[in-house]
Chains A and B, each alone.
Chain A
Amino acid sequence: MTTRHWLEFEKPVEDVYRKIDELAGSSADGSYRHGEEIQKLEKKAEHLLKEIYSKLTPWQITMVARHAERPYTLDYIKNIFDGFIELHGDRRFKDDPAIAGGIARLDGIPVVALGHQKGRNTKEKIRRNFGMPNPEGYRKALRLMELAERFSMPLFTFIDTPGAYPGVGAEERGQSEAIAYNLLRMSELKIPVVATVIGEGGSGGALAIGVADRVLMLEYSTYSVISPEGCAAILWKDGAKADIAAKSLKINAPELLRLGVANTIIKEPIGGAHREPETVYKDMKTALVATLKDLSAMPVDKLVEQRYQRFRSIGAFYDKGA
């Protein structure tokens, strides 16, 4: 249940664990017996964590979604799918490590799985560009999607990005076109498409691999048109108002379910997916298998029509003429 990276709002729990560590350290020399005391404290910590997680604010959930120990795309792919073979490159410019993907089996069925990939340590973080793809990343994803369609393999995508990379090269090589074309192509893929938001769903850079028949969200993931910080900087003229922006933007799983953007929420352990990843892998696998079974029962034309209608119907407006 413990972690090396405590979030600010988890401090009360961290303090209890620090006390536990102190007691465990002092009892190691044999002069004291603290077994009972430690047990009591562990219970207390568990209780505290549960209490904190029962009333997380949208901004706190954003912090959990960005947690440094949270499982990333390749963790899910390797623990849920079998025989993963990673494929590289967009055949146009280069291989973008901010998106990873390849072919694998889900419950015996060959599929294509891909997603944004963040790095675990400093070196990896830089290599993966913090999960912010350049156009070649989206074009690699498109290549894999079209491969999936050609060989009638269902497509699974995993969303976890602060957004598409805002750089000079990205603009020069057509970041907008790369995202736009993925949106167009994904809407007409003649295969089942399932997207799962596992961490941050950052705007167009997330949606570029998210036009799916079903959108699943982990309980503590977010999906938004703009980061709370970015929104706060523009609308409140103060980046520090990110907590208010997070609340206003409605970026959490239950809200997105209500707005018709997400279809299913996958529960997470108290304290987030990183505390019990094995449980999350198991639950996500169950959800993905069930979703695929559901989609596979549909003729492909109907599937594509439903996908069109799914996005066609999202939006809110008055239509006096109707």
Chain B
Amino acid sequence: MKVSGERQFEAPRATVWEVLNDPAQMAKTMPGVESFDIQDDRHWRAHVKIPLGLGGLRMSIDFEKMEEREPEFAKLHAKGNGVGAVLNMDTSFNLVEAEGGTNMKWEAEVHLLGPVASMGQRVLQPIVNQQVSQVLGALDKQVQEAKTG
């Protein structure tokens, strides 16, 4: 499944870049994060509980930064394992200075495998949409906090 979008932040590009590239700050934007371990500046791991209709799906997700061109582009790969589910995701964003702030174009390709994917396929899209919306809302908040110091 491919998802993509655009978001405006009322903050300088450097601030947005800083938030997006700080695993600890990003962890605060992700819903259902139960713990977060930073291995090095390119690898980190999150233990999350993704809300699904019949209960939460616990996953251990390994993130790896694949590519970055500060302050405009970064690409991440995420691989998650959970009970009855495997997640593979490639995501990237582009930051462009815009009037009054920063414009972010982002995209993600999500591959969900296993019985959860089989049974949950029909509810997956709304769940992904909801998650994306929450992440972006939280990101906005993090950026504002970073901007105001």
State whether these chains interact.
no
Give the A-binding residues of B (Cβ under 8 A): none
Give the B-binding residues of A (Cβ under 8 A): none
